[in-house]
Structure 1
Amino acid sequence: MKFDDKIPIYYQIKNYIYGQIITGKLAPGEKIPAVRQLAVDLTVNVNTVQRALGELISEGILESRRGLGNFVTEDQATIEEVKHKLIMQQLHEMYENLHDLNVTDDEIVAYLRQYIKDRRTTKDGQYN
């Protein structure tokens, strides 16, 4: 995993785990790797991973089971909330970036429609 220096690492780890859950790479009820294993896999400090996992547990995304480890919630509503939250974050970032380029709301919608249309017709999904 490549980290962005401008964003706290624990927050990026949270988003990484959110992504793993939303894409189904981590299924509802599935045990996630141990804190130490995640730290090794992500090449970060154990305390950083622990902070990210602690927040995910407090948000209800993960469930801690004493002596067994941490598991992805089986609550589909919670998973849908996470998906919605991530989508809104991505849209917010895109919106702000485009407005910084003086693109109007109507232009954003038009460009997005065109982008989706073009993407459907290209094989590799790359935009030129």
Structure 2
Amino acid sequence: MEFDAKTPIYYQIEQYINREIIIGHLRPGAQVPAVRQLAITLTVNVNTIQRALANLIGAGILVPERGKGNFVTTDQKVLGKMKQSMIEGEFKALYDHLAALELSPEEMTTAFAQYVQTQQGGERHE
């Protein structure tokens, strides 16, 4: 994983785990890799991983089980809210970039609809 120097690493790790949940690599009820394993895999400090996991636990996305580790919540309401929050964050960033290009909301909507249309049947970009 490559990190953006402008965004705190712990936050990027939170977003990474959220994406893994949304795309199904980490399913509801699945155990999240251990802190040390995540630190090795992502090549970051253990404390950074612990901070990211603590935030995800605080948000209810991960559920700790003493002596067993951390697990993805099975609460679909929490997972749906997390997914919606991520979608809104992506749209906000896109909107801000397009607004900086002085596109009107109508132009943005039209351009996005055209882009989606051209992507149907094509490769999926991630």
Q: TM-score, normalised by structure 1?
A: 0.95
> What do the CA deviations read for 1:47-66 (whole angstroms, capped 9, x no partner)?
00000000000110000100
Q: Which residue of 2 aligns with 1:36?
A: 36
Query: CA–CA distance in 1 between the matches of 2:64 and 2:119?
Result: 41
Which AA in structure 2 matches 1:116?
A: V
Q: Which residue of 2 aligns with 1:21?
A: 21
Tell me the CA shift for residue 4 of structure 1: 0.3
Query: CA–CA distance in 2 between the matches of 1:33 and 1:9?
Result: 18
Q: Which residue of 2 aligns with 1:88?
A: 88
Q: Which residue of 1 aligns with 2:109?
A: 109
Which AA in structure 2 matches 1:114?
A: Q
> What do the CA deviations read for 1:75-98 (whole angstroms, capped 9, x no partner)?
011000010000000000000000
Which AA in structure 1 matches 2:28?
A: P
Query: CA–CA distance in 2 between the matches of 1:106 and 1:45?
Result: 45
Q: Which residue of 1 aligns with 2:11?
A: 11
Query: CA–CA distance in 2 between the matches of 1:38 and 1:78?
Result: 23
Query: CA–CA distance in 2 between the matches of 1:94 and 1:66?
Result: 40
Tell me the CA shift for residue 120 of structure 1: 1.3
Query: CA–CA distance in 2 between the matches of 1:47 and 1:63?
Result: 19
Q: TM-score, normalised by structure 2?
A: 0.96
Query: CA–CA distance in 2 between the matches of 1:3 and 1:14?
Result: 12
Query: CA–CA distance in 2 between the matches of 1:38 and 1:108?
Result: 38
Structure 2: give runs of 5+ residues left out of the alignment. none
Please say if 1:77 is aligned against 2:69. Answer: no
Give aligned pairs, total: 125
Q: Percent identity?
A: 46
Structure 1: give runs of 5+ residues left out of the alignment. none
Query: CA–CA distance in 2 between the matches of 1:44 and 1:93?
Result: 26
Q: Which residue of 1 aligns with 2:62?
A: 62
